């Protein structure tokens, strides 16, 4: 089955710096890659996603890049703010039918003021 | 208000005592799923449902049952809970298939003694 690995497990940055979280996946047929943000005690919420027909997608301070050949995708957050502190999860579709999501283990991002 | 609800939010029970966690969505979504969240393991899919009377196993289905008799409801049943099922459980729904934004419920924290 699909395997999604996420690194690092924890990341501490200074406010205003950039943060990068990386994920690798095993199934070359995977074609959908979302990122979810989970604040402490809250439910996960989608922040950005990318499909396999594009290599990069941006939304204000957040961007995701996809390298299908290497089977990895990354989340980039620029000009980090304290409210960006949360756990971030990457995910990938497990099969061609698009029925199952496999999540990475999560990255706890801490933005220090 | 469009939302996914779960009940109960917190539950402490004993080994072997059958329990049901309810999940309901009011967005007319076809796809619903259950995840468990454990530290360092991310979100792991237990079961998913493509539509009414269509359910299938996720990555960790052992010890769980589900049913989808109505489009809006997707209960999770633990016939004989064990301590290794102590976890934080999330229900989620999306318009169709897993390759769309997943809307998560608030979570149910289950402790099995």
Give the percent of chain B with pLDDT over 90: 89
Instruction: Report how far residue B112's alpha carbon sits from residue B41's, in angstroms, rounded to the nearest whole number.
Output: 19
Instruction: Report how far residue B88's alpha carbon sits from residue B10's, in angstroms, rounded to the nearest whole number.
Output: 9
pLDDT beyond 90 at A29? no
Tell me the average pLDDT across A20-47: 94
pLDDT band with cut points at 50, 70 and 90 for residue A27: confident
Rounded mean pLDDT of chain A? 93
Instruction: Report how far residue B67's alpha carbon sits from residue B44's, in angstroms, rounded to the nearest whole number.
Output: 19
pLDDT band with cut points at 50, 70 and 90 for residue A28: confident
Q: Identify which of B44, B48, B107 has the shortest CB distance to residue A99.
A: B48
pLDDT beyond 70 at A86? yes
Instruction: Report how far residue A32's alpha carbon sits from residue B86's, in angstroms, rounded to the nearest whole number.
Output: 30
Tell me the average pLDDT across A30-35: 92
pLDDT tens digits along B36-47 = 999 888 899 999
pLDDT beyond 90 at A66? yes
- Whether residue B56 lies within 8 A of chain A, CB to CB, comes out as yes
Residue from A99, A104, A107 to probe the interface with B (highest B Cβ count within 10 Å): A99
Instruction: Report how far residue A43's alpha carbon sits from residue A56's, in angstroms, rounded to the nearest whole number.
Output: 26
pLDDT band with cut points at 50, 70 and 90 for residue A44: very high
Query: What integer pLDDT is reported at residue A65 of this predicted model?
Result: 97
Kindly give, in sequence order, each residue whose CB lies less than 8 Å from that of residue A11, ignoring residues fewer than 6 positions away.
A19, A21, A107, A108, A109, A110
CB within 8 Å: A89 and B43: yes
Which residues from A are below 8 Å from B when comparing CB atoms? 1, 4, 6, 9, 31-32, 34, 36, 43-46, 49, 51, 89, 91, 93, 97-106
Give the percent of chain B with pLDDT over 70: 100
CB within 8 Å: A103 and B104: no
Q: Identify which of A31, A100, A103 has the shortest CB distance to residue B42.
A: A103
Tell me the average pLDDT across A20-25: 97
pLDDT band with cut points at 50, 70 and 90 for residue A96: low
Query: What integer pLDDT is reported at residue A94 of this predicted model?
Result: 66
Report in angstroms the alpha-carbon separations of A99 from A31, A32, A65, B18, B32: 12, 11, 23, 28, 10
Nearest in space to B64 (alpha carbons), one of B78, B53, B74 = B78
pLDDT band with cut points at 50, 70 and 90 for residue A93: confident
pLDDT band with cut points at 50, 70 and 90 for residue A100: confident
Q: Identify which of A4, A89, A98 has the shortest CB distance to residue B97.
A: A98
Query: What integer pLDDT is reported at residue B101 of this predicted model?
Result: 93
pLDDT beyond 80 at A97? no
Instruction: Report how far residue B94's alpha carbon sits from residue A45's, in angstroms, rounded to the nearest whole number.
Output: 12
State the CB neighbour count (10 A cutoff) for residue A67.
11
Which position has the higher pLDDT, A29 or B81? B81
């Amino acid at each position: 089955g699909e395997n999604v690995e996420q690194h690092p497990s924890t990341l501490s940055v200074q406010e205003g710096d950039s943060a990068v979280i990386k994920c690798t996946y095993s199934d070359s047929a995977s074609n959908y890659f979302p990122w979810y943000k989970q604040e402490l005690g809250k439910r996960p919420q989608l922040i950005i996603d990318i499909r396999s027909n594009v290599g990069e997608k941006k939304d204000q301070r957040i961007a995701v890049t996809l390298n299908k050949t290497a089977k990895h995708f990354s989340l980039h957050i620029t000009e980090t703010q304290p409210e960006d502190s949360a756990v971030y999860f990457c995910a990938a579709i497990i099969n061609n039918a698009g029925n199952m999501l496999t999540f990475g283990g999560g990255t706890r991002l801490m933005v220090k003021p | 208000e469009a939302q996914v609800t779960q009940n109960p939010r917190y539950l402490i029970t004993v080994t072997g005592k059958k329990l049901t966690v309810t999940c309901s969505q009011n967005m007319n979504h076809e796809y619903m799923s259950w995840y468990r969240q454990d530290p360092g393991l991310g979100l792991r899919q237990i079961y998913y449902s493509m539509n009414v009377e269509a359910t299938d196993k996720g990555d960790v289905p052992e010890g769980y049952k589900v049913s989808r008799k109505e489009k809006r409801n997707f209960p999770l049943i633990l016939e004989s809970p064990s301590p290794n099922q102590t976890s934080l459980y999330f229900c989620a729904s999306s318009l169709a298939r897993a390759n769309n934004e997943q809307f998560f419920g608030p979570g149910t924290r289950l402790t099995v003694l």
